[in-house]
Structure 1
Amino acid sequence: MDAKVMIEIVVAALILLGTLMSLISSLGIIRLPDVYTRAHASTKSATLGILCILTGAFFYFVFTHGVSSIRLLLGIVFVFLTAPVAGHLIIRSAHRSKVALADISVQDDLQHYLNSVDHNESKD
């Protein structure tokens, strides 16, 4: 098998995998019951999907055209660093705003911390 064909197969597989992960993420955002699980679906799956798509595009341009795109590399790094942090901040602000968990949730490990923070703020 020719090397160019092999690279195109790998690139196509990465792009299809990224598309599938983004689809799973969108279904999770629609189907999951509360803001916490929706944020988890949007940050984890979508981040992995976008990273696969951008990596596939980067491999395509490097191996077929011999062009290394700094924009694609910066996009990969930017998404990898910012998406999980944004998801964490959204979930943290929702928890501090006392957004209720879904009925099927079994435990809230941060509830004790939230109560102690509220208690300390009321003293001040």
Structure 2
Amino acid sequence: MAFIIDALSWACLILGSFLGISGAIGIFSFKEFYSRVQAASVTDTLCVFFIMLGLILQAGFTLISVKLILAVFLLWLTGPLATHALVRSAYLTGLKPKLSITRKEAAKRGQS
């Protein structure tokens, strides 16, 4: 039974690390602010979940696992809220999303 818990724990830790690295790559590969924020936000939320789940499985049912569950809850609550506040403030200060095509080009494509 201990082998199964260790295997699940390491699988969660590896998956969480992979998601964190893919989020970092997304931040550097995307060119627009809003795309970068989206890549960081989505992968950050899942990365935290899987890494903390792996740590909870390693800790067993102890006070440490309760603290880790509280940390996951707080990070899941504050992460999306911080991302929303960041994107909203950027939009309100005048940073508009860049579209790959303009509305005029889209209208011309629809008429053709």
- Give the TM-score normalised by the residue count of structure 2: 0.83
Q: Cα deviation per residue 1:24-52 (whole Å; 9 max; x = unaligned)?
A: 10011111111111111111101111111
Kept in 2, the 8 Å contact 1:58–1:68? The answer is: no
Matches of 2:79 and 2:86 in 1, distance apart?
11
Matches of 1:94 and 1:13 in 2, distance apart?
37
Superposed CA RMSD in Å reads 1.6
Question: What percent identity do the matched residue pairs reach?
Answer: 23
With over 3 angstroms needed to count, the CA separation of the structure-2 counterparts of 1:105 and 1:31, relative to structure 1, is farther
With over 3 angstroms needed to count, the CA separation of the structure-2 counterparts of 1:6 and 1:105, relative to structure 1, is farther
Correspondence list, 1:7-18, <5 A? 7-18=5-16
Q: How many residues align?
A: 102
2:73 aligned residue: 77
With over 3 angstroms needed to count, the CA separation of the structure-2 counterparts of 1:53 and 1:101, relative to structure 1, is same
Matches of 1:61 and 1:47 in 2, distance apart?
21
1:6 to 1, 4, 10: 4
* Structure 2 unaligned blocks of 5 or more: 104-112
SS in 2 for 1:104: coil
Does residue 68 of structure 2 align to residue 56 of structure 1?
no
Matches of 1:106 and 1:51 in 2, distance apart?
38
SS in 2 for 1:88: helix
* Structure 1 unaligned blocks of 5 or more: 108-124
Runs ≥4 residues deviating over 3 A:
none
